[in-house]
């Protein structure tokens, strides 16, 4: 069996596991006050060229989004997001559980534009009854998007400028950020993101760790009193150093870059193979998720041959959109086998 | 340096780490639908003699309490708890964040009685204005308590009976449950707890795991729609099998019992040593937390000699209450060294 | 100056004021336990042919929607509503403040169909990841809608049937319900609504009262523990009889029907006048709100002549949609004057 | 029958009703944008000697407390209050519904001291784990207290100074404020309160209005974006002028002062009568609530003679604490009759 279902099917990168084992019996204080966590924070600050940044490790993506959004919004405000945004669709109402409305914008392949944001906010305040409506209080974007697509540096600069023109923070959900940064199509760097986004998070769960996400705010004043809020949201890891050790490993010797690049290269090989076979690409993704429209009999044959992957949406009458995902744990042999079966 | 500060200073028990390494590169589906999680649930059902129990793995204690309490209470209800209860004092308002009031009862060494609960509820409904007040909707207890003390089987049976007489669920926070069950003073078993508590959780973070807590409800109907609520609370582990593998290891070959018993034996040796030296015991705890009242110069001398432990409350003028905690990771040598220094 | 801006510009119907004055110096117990409130509840039960109905008086529309929806939904559920629905657009996030997501359906002139609801729910449970999404837990509709349109008895029966097929309650926001029931185009009666909707409210603020809305649930078990929830939402009127006296007056001698019919007749006269003058109707409304597309110079001339009314949306380059609203307080002279000016 | 049960048993003061009738058929815009509301705000600003104050009319006490506290607190903060405080006991969890914990201080006859507040906050930040606890974010006091007692100017100045020393706002619940200001024992004025409290509210429901409370913040920056929050909390009155007309009347020709003074004088006559008869005063209240300890047979005899009043707490074996409340609606004849019966 070879798996392309998602990028969180395996455990942690062996190097991460090695460091967890090596440090396992050490005694350190809890809640992220240990030296490994401090070193990991410094490594991330350095990678982001944001020497004063607030860095806070969290356990998972939904809790990270819920906590950051709750921290950034005032009570009468909501969060602008693409209709397909993870917080709008796949977090079981975690944002609303904290009292905030998700204000949606139609997206193009997962992306929204600075113009859309500008128009929304401008029209909002033009409406005389705007105080009866939920004010747009921040912008949420994902990089790469739900569909594996990327914002260019230019687009990101425009989004950042529009947000700051309207005095709202820009927040980037980076659950798969490594797979964006590793893409040849990506002209954005971590320091760019740290500079342009008021807050973002570097996803670990999908990029080599057992679990863990790193929230980064270049200006710590953006997230005042964040620690008790993390605790209140149930997102504070008691043995905080488990996250510290993992992230420190990820940000040592470019491990993060290397393992994500590996996944993206394999994803592009898969893409080329499908295209060469004459299959259609559903969404043009330069990252580790690939979407194809396949005849149902091809889908069935692949699965019968031991290839595991997911339908993307409902199965069609004769053909269906499917998703193939690679990760740091995908091997060249897996991809070779897939191409061979294909 | 030898450490008695808390029971979450080391990583996971080596056996747990070994299994994480062994399974690390396997590919499994996420969110707890993998076979390890299923086996771990079965192992816990078996240990609890609760074959139909709902078992759900969570990441940490605060999120577990917040999610379970949110699931059990109706909106007009609050949770009865001891004044010193963790949910009332040390969770940064996580319960109130979900909209619920903590209704406090004065405790004796961390414990509350069935009579207190009975009186509270009876008086509540005698008050003609009770619909203007927060209704007691469940009872929260900890085992062992914040002070390391235990409920006897008889006390637990009474609490359970009173709760059910008043038609409210009984919930036990078992962050350190293993250290209770392993105590010679404990006449309660896991099956007793599963029978008497509507919901409880078996803490893993403080008892041998990297992180993780197992919520158990003997009757699954007690926690309907619990899965989306876990997700909504940001408590759903994407790589669920990380929790499954850990708990499965803990509940194989009595590992949970053995490592907790080890900690409790060492704690009792520490206690005996202090008592033999003529120091006063602050709270009579038969579990892995020990509380002594020590002269300040003794405290300072111990610390100067490399013994790390915490003040329990504010430092006094001449003497101070201190806490010594053991865990599965405490070694006999550590304790020997402590006694020697003493 | 003559006013057609909204239906809450005047105080209460003179008959309502007369009864408030007559009873003003009586002493009664608070919170709705007085005899007037009891009589008003009985009068509403009788008008609804729902002898066992729970009837609860509230102070305003937003708090009524927030409280009822909070009472009906479980925590993992959201409320299905038309995109233009008041709870989605004009309540400053009151629903989300209580932790619930508004799940929107595109509407046609304010209305949604049973088929849409059926498809939404069916597709929701077909998605394998549905437990990661907000479950549709109830349906919210308005009658008349935001655009003054009506559901027919047949449409309402279908919506009710679909909701009950999927085991979710149907809730109707009746802020302007009287103006629906009084319309010649309406084939629905209060008993029909009480039979088909699990919960609905009869708006008083826009239909003759100083303030006040009456929540009705034919089966009281639909809203268990509603009283403390009303208090928790800050929606409990201390001098409850103020609401009781007002609603009792409204439901005595058909006052509610008579004053709403008066408003609708005048609205239709306005409509006829505009149509006769060759102006376009923007939305075909058979109730007390009328929407026309007028040349901007006509709009300006009307306003210069002392006619007050509102633009409906943004002013266009040459013509603009406007809204004319009548109420029980609109007089024949007002309408004659408008027609004359026209 | 003569009534001393509470101060919200009658309707509105006749002068208030007269103005409501006079203005009843006028057409004004909604939501408090009408001229009466503006005039009423100015009248209150003038009475408070706070010319720039934000004044916002609300419908009732619980919603006022919930909204103001929600506006003043950050998410990780709770509200300090006396154990007997209305928000802690009698609001069905409205504060917790908005996500905030009530942090209680033991009270003496309803009052708390600046020293208590100082100690609480100082000790809080001395605890190394304070970020795991709910931070004290504001102070809530009532004037008069639940027991009819008063803070002196000196006490209020100390509370204000301590709050500002610790950088938290002071909020006063003035549901019965008029009965405090009208007491001979009161050395505090409205301008004092406006100067010393960051926010307070002037209760109308218990002091002559049908319903309505006026929130006052001398510095409007204390309550930014308050309007949408009022709407979100369901506390915005559609026909806002109903509140404006009522409060304008109350603050014209000293009506507020006169009617409250009337009530307090009668309450003191009742007190003197009971004391002269040799009955014990339970709490020394200089305002409109009087608490006596009466033999049960006296209580029964009074009630049999047509005097209505409430037990304060549970009925005792031989004697019981009872409460007598006067209001603007209590007449001299009522009091004469009571004294005669006594």
Kindly report, residue by residue over C262-293, the tens digit of the pLDDT.
999 999 999 999 999 999 999 999 999 999 99
Residues 158-177 of C with CB under 8 A from D: none
For residue A28, give how far its alpha carbon lies from the nearest alpha carbon of chain D (Å). 16
* Lookup result for tokens 């900890």: B142
Q: pLDDT tens digits for D100-156? A: 999 999 999 999 999 999 999 999 999 989 999 999 999 999 999 999 999 999 999
From the list B91, B99, B132, the residue facing D97 with the nearest CB is B99
Q: Percent of chain A having pLDDT more than 90?
A: 99
CB pairs under 8 A between A and C: 56
- What is the per-residue pLDDT for D33? 96
A73 — pLDDT class (breaks 50, 70, 90): very high
Chain D hits for B129, CB-CB cut-off 8 Å, are 90
Please give the Cα distance from C313 to D72 (Å, whole number).
Answer: 34
Reduce the DSSP state of residue B300 to 3 states and report it.
helix
Please give the Cα distance from A101 to A93 (Å, whole number).
Answer: 10
Q: pLDDT tens digits for D193-223? A: 999 999 999 999 999 999 999 999 999 999 9
Interface test with C, best of A97, A98, A233 (most C CBs within 10 A): A97
Please give the Cα distance from D129 to D126 (Å, whole number).
Answer: 9
Nearest residue to B339 via CA among B310, B307, B304, B294: B307
Bridge partners of residue B283, in order along the sequence: B291
Please give the Cα distance from A173 to A175 (Å, whole number).
Answer: 6
CA atoms within 13 A on the CB side of D5: 14
Question: Residue B134: which H helix or E strand, with range?
Answer: none
Residue A109 φ/ψ region, left for φ over 0, alpha for ψ in the -120 to 50 degree band, beta for the rest:
left
Please give the Cα distance from D297 to D279 (Å, whole number).
Answer: 13
- What is the per-residue pLDDT for D159? 98
Chain C hits for B133, CB-CB cut-off 8 Å, are 228
By CB neighbour count within 10 A (0-12 exposed, 13-18 middle, 19+ buried), where does D270 fall? buried
Query: What is the torsion angle, in degrees rounded to the nearest 10, for the CA atoms of residue D98, residue D104, residue D110 and residue D111?
Result: -110
Please give the Cα distance from A243 to B163 (Å, whole number).
Answer: 40
- What is the per-residue pLDDT for A313? 85
Query: What is the torsion angle, in degrees rounded to the nearest 10, for the CA atoms of residue D184, residue D187, residue D190 and residue D192?
Result: 180
From the list C92, C101, C133, the residue facing A134 with the nearest CB is C92
- Do residue D131 and residue A75 have CB atoms under 8 angstroms apart? no
Q: Is the pLDDT of residue B35 over 90?
A: yes
Do residues B68 and B56 make contact, with C-beta atoms less than 8 angstroms apart?
no
Q: Is the pLDDT of residue C313 over 90?
A: no
Residues 50-79 of D with CB under 8 A from B: 75-76, 78
Nearest residue to D141 via CA among D123, D167, D114: D114
Please give the Cα distance from A294 to A138 (Å, whole number).
Answer: 38
DSSP D25: T
- Contacting chains of A (3 CB pairs or more, <8 Å) are B, C, D
Q: pLDDT tens digits for A206-215? A: 999 999 999 9
Determine the average pLDDT of the residues in B270-274: 97
Nearest-Cα residue of chain A relative to residue D98: A99
Please give the Cα distance from C136 to C73 (Å, whole number).
Answer: 9
- Do residue A229 and residue D131 have CB atoms under 8 angstroms apart? no
What value of ipTM does the predicted structure carry?
0.96
- What is the per-residue pLDDT for B31? 96
pTM over 0.95: yes
Residue C25, φ and ψ in degrees, nearest 5: -95, 5
Chain A hits for D135, CB-CB cut-off 8 Å, are 225, 228
Domains B2-7+256-341 and B14-254 share a fold: no
- What is the per-residue pLDDT for A56? 98
Q: Is the pLDDT of residue B87 over 90?
A: yes
- Per the prediction, chain B carries an average pLDDT of 97
By CB neighbour count within 10 A (0-12 exposed, 13-18 middle, 19+ buried), where does D191 fall? middle
From the list C76, C90, C100, the residue facing A129 with the nearest CB is C90
Chain B hits for C232, CB-CB cut-off 8 Å, are 75-76
- Contacting chains of C (3 CB pairs or more, <8 Å) are A, B, D
Please give the Cα distance from D330 to D307 (Å, whole number).
Answer: 13
Domain boundaries, chain A: 2-7+256-341, 14-253
Do residues C329 and C17 make contact, with C-beta atoms less than 8 angstroms apart?
no
Q: Does A105 touch chain C (CB under 8 A)?
A: no
Nearest residue to C73 via CA among C223, C200, C183: C223
- Do residue B8 and residue A210 have CB atoms under 8 angstroms apart? no
Q: Please state which CATH number belongs to domain C14-253.
A: 3.40.640.10
From the list C92, C96, C99, the residue facing A133 with the nearest CB is C92
Tokens of B21: 């390494």
- CA D52 to each of CA A213, A237, B107, D219: distance values in angstroms, whole numbers, following the listed order: 47, 47, 49, 7
From the list A70, A76, A227, the residue facing D232 with the nearest CB is A76
Query: What is the torsion angle, in degrees rounded to the nearest 10, for the CA atoms of residue D116, residue D121, residue D124 and residue D128?
Result: -140
Q: Is the pLDDT of residue A303 over 90?
A: yes
- Do residue D76 and residue A232 have CB atoms under 8 angstroms apart? yes
Please give the Cα distance from B57 to B214 (Å, whole number).
Answer: 5
Bridge partners of residue C136, in order along the sequence: C78
- Do residue D75 and residue A135 have CB atoms under 8 angstroms apart? no
C314 — pLDDT class (breaks 50, 70, 90): confident
- What is the per-residue pLDDT for B79? 98
Determine the average pLDDT of the residues in B231-244: 97
Please give the Cα distance from D99 to D67 (Å, whole number).
Answer: 12
Locate all alpha helices (DSSP H) within chain B, ordered by sequence: 14-23, 35-47, 61-72, 86-89, 94-97, 114-126, 153-165, 177-181, 190-196, 226-232, 241-250, 255-276, 296-304, 332-341
DSSP B186: -
> Which of 3.10.20.30, 3.40.190.10, 3.90.1150.10, 3.40.50.2000 is the CATH number of B2-7+256-341?
3.90.1150.10
- What is the per-residue pLDDT for D215? 98
Please give the Cα distance from D3 to A267 (Å, whole number).
Answer: 81
Chain A hits for B234, CB-CB cut-off 8 Å, are 59-60, 62-64, 66-67, 94, 233-235
Q: Does D238 touch chain A (CB under 8 A)?
A: no
Do residues C53 and C194 make contact, with C-beta atoms less than 8 angstroms apart?
yes
- Do residue B228 and residue C71 have CB atoms under 8 angstroms apart? no
Q: Does C33 touch chain D (CB under 8 A)?
A: no
Q: Is the pLDDT of residue D314 over 90?
A: no
- CB atoms near residue A171 (< 10 Å): 29
Residue C70, φ and ψ in degrees, nearest 5: -65, -35
- What is the per-residue pLDDT for A241? 97
Residue B93 φ/ψ region, left for φ over 0, alpha for ψ in the -120 to 50 degree band, beta for the rest:
left
Q: Is the pLDDT of residue B314 over 90?
A: no
Nearest residue to B225 via CA among B66, B60, B70: B70
Residue B16, φ and ψ in degrees, nearest 5: -65, -45
Nearest residue to C249 via CA among C60, C28, C17: C17
Do residues B227 and C131 make contact, with C-beta atoms less than 8 angstroms apart?
yes
Domain D14-254 in this protein, CATH class: alpha beta
Please give the Cα distance from D102 to B73 (Å, whole number).
Answer: 19
Residues 311-340 of A with CB under 8 A from C: 314
- CB atoms near residue D296 (< 10 Å): 14
Please give the Cα distance from C132 to B228 (Å, whole number).
Answer: 6
Determine the average pLDDT of the residues in B44-68: 98
- CA C198 to each of CA A229, B314, C51, C202, C215: distance values in angstroms, whole numbers, following the listed order: 39, 57, 14, 13, 11
Nearest residue to A133 via CA among B217, C144, C93: C93
DSSP C131: G
Q: Is the pLDDT of residue D313 over 90?
A: no
Residue D244 φ/ψ region, left for φ over 0, alpha for ψ in the -120 to 50 degree band, beta for the rest:
alpha
Q: Is the pLDDT of residue B225 over 90?
A: yes
Please give the Cα distance from C101 to C75 (Å, whole number).
Answer: 10
By CB neighbour count within 10 A (0-12 exposed, 13-18 middle, 19+ buried), where does C300 fall? exposed
CA D2 to chain CA centroid, nearest Å: 24
């Amino acid at each position: 069996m070879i798996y392309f279902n998602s990028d969180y099917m395996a455990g942690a990168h062996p190097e991460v596991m090695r460091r967890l084992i090596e440090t396992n019996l050490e005694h350190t204080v809890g809640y992220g006050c240990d030296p490994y966590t401090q070193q990991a924070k410094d490594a991330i600050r350095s990678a982001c060229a944001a020497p004063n940044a607030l860095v806070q490790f969290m356990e998972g993506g939904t809790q990270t989004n819920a906590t950051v959004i709750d921290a950034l919004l005032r009570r009468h405000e909501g969060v602008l997001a693409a209709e397909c945004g993870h917080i709008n669709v796949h977090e079981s109402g975690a944002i609303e559980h904290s009292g905030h409305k998700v204000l949606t914008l139609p997206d193009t392949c997962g992306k929204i534009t600075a113009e859309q944001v500008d128009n929304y906010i401008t029209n909002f305040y033009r409406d005389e009854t705007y105080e009866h409506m939920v004010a747009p209080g921040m912008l949420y974007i994902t990089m790469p998007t739900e569909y594996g697509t990327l914002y260019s540096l230019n687009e990101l600069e425009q989004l950042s400028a529009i947000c700051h023109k309207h005095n709202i923070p820009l927040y980037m959900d980076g659950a798969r950020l490594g797979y964006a940064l590793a893409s040849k199509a990506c002209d954005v760097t971590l320091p760019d993101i740290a500079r342009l986004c008021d807050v973002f998070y570097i996803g670990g769960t999908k990029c080599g760790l057992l679990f863990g996400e790193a929230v980064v705010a270049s200006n710590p004043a953006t997230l005042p009193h964040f620690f008790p809020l993390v605790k209140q949201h149930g997102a504070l890891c008691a043995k905080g150093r488990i996250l510290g050790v993992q992230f420190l490993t990820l940000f040592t010797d470019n491990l993060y870059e290397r393992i994500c690049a590996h996944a993206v290269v394999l994803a592009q090989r898969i893409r080329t193979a499908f295209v060469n076979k004459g299959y259609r690409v559903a969404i043009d993704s330069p990252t580790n998720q690939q979407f194809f429209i396949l005849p149902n009999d091809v889908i069935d044959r692949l699965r019968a041959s031991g290839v595991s992957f997911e339908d993307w949406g409902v199965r069609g009458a004769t053909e269906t959109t499917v998703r193939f995902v690679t990760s740091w744990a995908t091997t060249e042999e897996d991809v070779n086998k897939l191409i061979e079966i294909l």
